[in-house]
Amino acid sequence: MTSEKKSTIKLGSRELDVREGSLDAGIPDGPVEQKWESHKFKMKLVNPANKRKFNIIVVGSGLAGASAAATMAELGYNVDCYCYQDSPRRAHSVAAQGGINAAKNYPNDGDSVFRLFYDTVKGGDYRSREANVYRLAEVSNNIIDQCVAQGVPFAREYSGTLANRSFGGAQVSRTFYARGQTGQQLLLGAYQSLSRQIGLGKVKMYNRTEMLDLVVIDGHARGIVTRDMITGKIQSHVADAVVLATGGYSNAFYLSTNAKGCNATAIWRAYKKGAYFANPCFTQIHPTCIPPSGEHQSKLTLMSESLRNDGRIWVPRDVNDKRRGNDIPEKERLYYLEEKYPSFGNLVPRDVASRNAKTVVDAGHGVGEMKNGVFLDFAESIGRLGENVIRERYGNLFDMYTSITGDDPYKVPMRIFPAPHYTMGGTWVDYNLMSTVPGLFVIGEANFSDHGANRLGASALMQGLADGYFILPYTMGNYLAQAGKAKVETSHDSFKEVEASINERIHKLLNINGKRSVDSFHRELGKVVWENCGMARNEEGLKKALEKIPTIKAEFWENVNVPGEEKNINQSLEMAGRVADFFELAELMCLDALNRSESCGGHFREESKTAEGEALRDDENFAYSAAWQYNGDDKEPTLNKEPLEFKDVKLSQRSYK
């Protein structure tokens, strides 16, 4: 670790402390190709007979959480797993549609572990940690073998071999898929492994249970405090280590492709207990979602990126053209991605596709009654391949689109527009996936580690399963073998203090008795964040957001109405706690975006772009991960910089032309 440097920065009216060299990512020495294998050998081990002496808490039962809980239980650890859904099978991982990447090179089209590594670093606009990304690419092939062994029904060629298709940001076909429901099928595989361990008594499953805070004793994570969502009971749970696998925070935007229950409470509570939060402004706007149809909507629907394999994206060249898509002749159509990016065409990375959609819609080329979308057209592919082939590949997605819009995409073009979908930011973790709180591990979308400023399509499932099946089981043993902690019970004062603070917060929310609903505040917050910290950001807008958010937050705590009781099912109470955390997180998102005056990946600062309108990085000043440290509700956070080094993928301006 380099010597620490301290300074201050001024962001608007705020003055913040900055530290560089304060973080140790624990990246192993040696060539990037050898780091993980060497590290695995050097890590400490827990004797098989001793594993049953350790208790591990896993919060979240999606792909990352279910795979981690099942794998660690199979190794011999005692695992408690928590989810707020009525079953682990309802975790939001089921919503992933298009596929999962791996460097198998089955099509023999030039793929390799290094190419997947390179594409991921480049796709993230050089704002990720090389060592972590290479490890992700390295273990990707193991994931496919694991899932095939579980019986996951991946699509296959006529010969019986596993099929691949292309996704954005790559010129090879490396994406394995199960029609348009890959996430669901992968989760069923992880769930059956989890269920086996539940049946054997190695995993205790807590459904309909929400984590409300982390308990830290003597500087180490030693448990959590939860609320039973049926009875309202507040309960403490103790462990030797805690794993958070709770997903991302796109619902800070209110309208997103995330399930309504998705929230940031677990990682935000951890942040306020000492776990640094990294790159909160790195959020992904997915280019292919069904556009909003009015102010009544509470969420948006994803249309898989895989559709860009066979669908062509276009808008009318004439901004005054109000004809239906099928009535507009070919020569009067603007295939803006194909014209601007001939090498990648419609398969440019998500951030590039989204920004270009916004550009043409803002210029007046939008389609639909609200002129808030672009066309995704399958006429050419249906004519070339036949409707049956398209139905086999995307049938369930087309059915979903028809159910929502009433249009038949086999006959008319789909209408799509970008929407908040995934968050690359999250809890800062080191190479071992451990946060700045010893004993607190964070995996999957909940951490920041692998995707930089933009995640490539089909890489979320890859990261979640890589962390859960193949990385955490090693690094967890290394921590437990060296921890040497005294046993604690839930009677410890620290647990009682956390329980008291949770009860106090619940009573406060229930007793405000204001005039506005929780949802109205969430919608207002989301609009501010979307308009000022969404697809495009600028200094003026971010400063405006940093003025508005605290004002709305103050009114929330004075005028929100949370009906119902605490000792019962109370979804308004659940949402109130989550929205309260979103207020604070949204402020940090905007602060991070204001500080990072460069453009990179999904973070597009309008002041920093090339002559052609592309994102313009500032590697001299911003080649670092920003890890924010909580200092108290009334104090400014500290910015800790983790410098990023690029030895194997050289820094360059991204080009997909």
Q: Nearest-5° angle of CA 169, CA 90, CA 76?
A: 90
One-letter amino acid at 93 equals S
Alpha helices in 16-129 (DSSP H): 35-42, 48-51, 63-75, 113-123
Query: Cα 244 from chain centroid?
Result: 13
Q: Nearest-5° angle of CA 520, CA 521, CA 525?
A: 120
Question: How many CB atoms are located within 10 Å of the residue 20 CB?
Answer: 17
* Biggest distance spanned by C-alpha atoms of the chain: 74
Q: How crowded is the C-beta side of 80, counted as CA atoms within 13 Å?
A: 19
- 575: closest CA among 502, 522, 527? 522
462 Ramachandran zone, left/alpha/beta (phi>0; psi -120 to 50): alpha
d(CA 74, CA 59): 18
As given in the structure block, the two tokens for residue 91 are 């975790």
Say if residues 569 and 575 touch (Cβ distance below 8 Å). Answer: no
Q: Please report the DSSP string for 176-209 in residue order.
A: E-STT-HHHHHHHHHHHHHHHHHHTTSEEEE-SE
- 12: closest CA among 566, 548, 657? 548
Task: Give the three-state DSSP class for 490.
Answer: coil
d(CA 216, CA 236): 12
As given in the structure block, the two tokens for residue 374 are 């672009």
Say if residues 55 and 204 touch (Cβ distance below 8 Å). Answer: no
d(CA 522, CA 256): 12
- Gyration radius of the chain's alpha carbons: 24
CA distances from 563 to 208, 229, 518, 580 (A): 20, 15, 10, 16
As given in the structure block, the two tokens for residue 529 are 């964040």
Task: Give the three-state DSSP class for 41.
Answer: helix
Q: Which of 350, 355, 578, 596 is catalytic?
A: 350
d(CA 3, CA 41): 28
Secondary structure letter of residue 517 according to DSSP: E
First-last CA distance in the chain: 39
- To the query of whether residue 350 is one of the catalytic residues in this protein, the response is yes
d(CA 479, CA 369): 57
Q: Please report the DSSP string for 223-255 in residue order.
A: EEEEEETTT--EEEEE-SEEEE-----GGGGSS
d(CA 574, CA 209): 11
d(CA 586, CA 565): 28
d(CA 277, CA 268): 8
Which H helix or E strand runs over 506?
helix 493-510
Strand partners, 203: 79
Which residues are catalytically annotated? 350
